[in-house]
Amino acid sequence: MQKSKYALVISALLVLGVFPAQGALRVVKIYDGDTVTMADGMKIRLLQIDAPELAEGECFAKESKDALVNLLAKKGTITLKADPASASYDRYGRALRYIFVGKINVNLEMIKIGAAAPYFYQGEKGIYSAAMLKAAQDAKLYKVGLWKECPGTQLVPTKAITTYKAVGTPVATPVNTPVAAPSATTGCDPNYAGCIPLYPPDLNCSDLKALGLAPVTVIGKDPHRLDGDGDGKACTS
């Protein structure tokens, strides 16, 4: 009877998408304000939020990463939680999860402190979407975090956030991404910063290095499949 009861509890946790720590879950690398790697090698994309792109030099990107570092350093057991409204993994193989430190919902807290914005990919509204939208509206109203430092930024939860210092003015040009003149025959693929030829044909890093277009920053879907680890940077070595 006791064994059966324990099995039911574990099954319930899995249905809810809660992943209790085997030992202790630890974050070993923080890429930016919404992507981390766990000690077991699992890369996590924080679910239902989007933070300024550090690789693109966007407004408040460094502060967003620092905010995530501070939240994950708080005392408490780290747990991961999926959402039935969303896929378990994104197209880059990253696990889509809410991260909790003790009772703190880190994803929601990042929005509350103005270090990220809600992002309901393809209109998916998860279990915390209402709280996230309200937190973002409050943060924007009271000019908290990026909403103060990047006043040109728009709150559009169905789109990835792009932070601007002033309305219509990008904060910076892409970091470490050589820009080539657009080709009259192929044009530039909007999935990449700079000017990477459109897909097809399928290009690899060797091709882009020969053209002087490496390293590459991925800002969209990565049709050339250059970014194997999904960190937004490709062809760096």
Residues 47 and 146 in one domain: yes
Q: What is the pTM of this model?
A: 0.64
Domain's final residue, options 168, 198, 218: 168
Chain mean position to CA 96: 9
- The CATH number covering residue 112 comes to 2.40.50.90
Domain count, the chain: 2
Within 13 Å and on the Cβ side, how many CA atoms surround 202? Answer: 4
pLDDT digits (tens, 9 = 90+) for 148-198: 999 999 999 999 999 988 755 544 444 443 333 334 344 688 888 878 888
Residues 111 and 55 in one domain: yes
Residues 161 and 237 in one domain: no
Q: What is the CA radius of gyration of the chain?
A: 19
Residues 23 and 98 in one domain: yes
CA distance 120 to 104: 21
CA distance 101 to 62: 21
pLDDT digits (tens, 9 = 90+) for 58-103: 999 999 999 999 999 999 999 999 999 999 999 899 999 999 999 9
Residue 236 DSSP code: -
Which of 37, 49, 43 is closest to 146 using CA atoms? 49
Residue range of the domain that includes 158: 2-168
Residues 95 and 184 in one domain: no
Cβ-count burial of 217 within 10 angstroms (0-12 exposed, 13-18 middle, 19+ buried)? Answer: buried
